[in-house]
Structure formats: structure tokens, C-alpha cells
Structure 1
Amino acid sequence: MAPARQVLLVEDDPLVRMTLVEGLADSGFDVLEAEDAETALRVLAHHPDVALLLTDINLPGADGFALARAARVLRPDLPVIYASGRLRAAEPGRALPDAPFLAKPFSVACAAATIAGAMRPGA
């Protein structure tokens, strides 16, 4: 069996975070979680096996766009996926150009498929 692929999920809504953590774990991902950008960067710095960052855009403190840029300073090749319930698309010029966007509400199956696609070599 292949090792679990580690995802860092950054979501400030505890219910949404819990639902995604459980659903993604059921889909075969090893999920680490953070409620804000500051915590996420600490997790990323201490867990070199994180293979992807899935971040909400609207976070307390630094937003998901700033988090993604900071994460790429630490890990230049880290795949990033944005999510938002307030925006219908990632803002051009603020989002990383290669980062997919998930509009909330989305299913766990949709998130898992997007994550798997972003983790593929050459994706």
C-alpha cells in the first residue's frame, strides 16, 4: 500500500475543517490542520512531508493568498489549492498562477480529486 499523502488544510471554520479532515482521511490522505496562516506556516516548517497546501482565502490575520506566497518561500514546489465561500474565483494577481480554486460548498470527493490531480508529477 502506498504511503498516505500528507495535506495541510488551513480553515478557520471548525465545522468545515473537521468535516474536511475526516473526509480527506477517509479518502486516503494524511491531513494536518491549522486554523490560521501563522499556525499553518509553523506546521509547514516542522513537517517536511507535507505534499500540498489547501487553504481557505478568508482567514483571520494573513489571508490565504499571503499564506500561499509565504509557503512557497519555504517550499517553492509545494502545490497549493485555494478555497472560498465568499469568492467565486481566485483574484487574478493575488493567487499563485498554478493553484486550482474550489468554490464552497464543495464535496469531499471534489476536494480529494482536486488534491490528487495537483499532487501528480507534472500537474
Structure 2
Amino acid sequence: MHSHKPVLLVVEDDFLVRLTLVDALSDLGFSVLEAEDAPAALSMLCDHGEIELMLTDINLPGGSDGFALARAARVIRPMLPVIYASGRYARAEPHLQVPGSRFIAKPFTPSLAVAVIHDLLEEDPAAGSAWPAAMRAEQHI
């Protein structure tokens, strides 16, 4: 039996943080695409219509932060669920976030990321239906 793996886009400029997060989320049943900056992420969103959620660092190189990236991503994909992450902020300013997004402070555990991803995807009935039963189980944080 072939089960659907939700497709995530992780945007993180720190190679080791990105590698660790991509590996952990892959091990937890996701198909994960990765980008190191906003231009690469926007290109991925244009090329991969199967992306169901974007997790982005707020501080990105090249003059575009995660907030600007999310706004641009929502032009391409208006309903794309977004999670912001940062080690520099205790919380994200709500007026900078796209509607319906979430924030998680770094460092965070993969199980916390999965719980937030699960919550966001469940808010969208079309995306939530794609979750395998094992992924719907309560996450231990």
C-alpha cells in the first residue's frame, strides 16, 4: 500500500540546522524539500505544486526575511500554511505575519515542529485529509 507523505518546504540558511531539520522531518514521515534563501524558496514553490506547507526561518540572507518570503509565497499560493522559526525572537510580531501562520522559537524539537505542522494542515480540510493515520496520532512534546 502506498501512503501519502505530506510535502514540506524548509527554508533555512544555516546548513547544519537545515540538514538536521530536514533529516528529522523526513524520518517522521514527511517528504521535505529545502531552500537556503527566499529566491530559492519561491522557485521551489513555483516548480513544486505539491508543497503543502512552508517552514521558514525569519532571518534569511539576501535582504529578504521570512516575513517578506511568506507574503511573496502567498501571492503564488494564497492558502499556503506558513510556520516561522527564529532563534532571535521570542515571538513574531503578529502584524508582520501572514494570516493563519504560526511561530516557533529555536531551538525546537522535531516533535514540536510536527505538532505545529499537524495543527496547520488540519485547519485546511483538503490538506488535512492527506495525513496518514499514523501522523494524526497525538504527538509527544
Runs of 4+ in structure 1 off by over 3 angstroms are: none
Of 78, 93, 96, which residue of structure 2 is paired with 1:94?
96
- Identity score, percent: 56
- In structure 1, the residue matched to 2:68 is 66
Structure 2: 5+ residue runs without aligned partners?
129-141
Listed one character per residue, the Cα deviations across residues 79-118 of structure 1 (whole Å, up to 9, x for unaligned) are 0000000011111311113111000000011111111111
Is the aligned partner of 1:105 residue 2:86?
A: no
After TM superposition, list the pairs within 5 Å mapping 1:74-93 onto structure 2.
74-93=76-95
Larger strand proportion, structure 1 or 2? 1
* Structure 1 length-normalised TM: 0.96
- Runs (5+) with no aligned partner, structure 1: none
Identify the residue that residue 21 of structure 1 maps to in structure 2: 22
Taking the aligned partners of 2:81 and 2:31, their CA distance within structure 1 comes to 15
C-alpha separation between the residues in 1 aligned to 2:94 and 2:79?
Answer: 20
Cα distance in 2 for partners of 1:92, 1:74 equals 21
**Counterpart of 2:48?**
47
SS in 1 for 2:39: helix
Q: How many residue pairs get matched? A: 123
Q: Following the alignment from structure 1 to structure 2, what is the Cα–Cα distance between the partners of residues 9 and 116?
A: 15
SS at match of 2:104: strand
Bigger fraction of residues in helix: 2
Letter in 1 for 2:30: F
Aligned to 2:116: 114
2:90 corresponds to which letter in structure 1? Answer: R
Q: CA deviation at 1:2?
A: 2.8
Q: Alpha-carbon deviations, 1:11-59, whole Å to 9, x = none? A: 0010100000000001111000000000000001000000000000000
Secondary structure of the residue aligned to 1:110 is helix
**What root-mean-square deviation, in Å, do the aligned CA atoms of Structure 1 and Structure 2 show?**
1.2
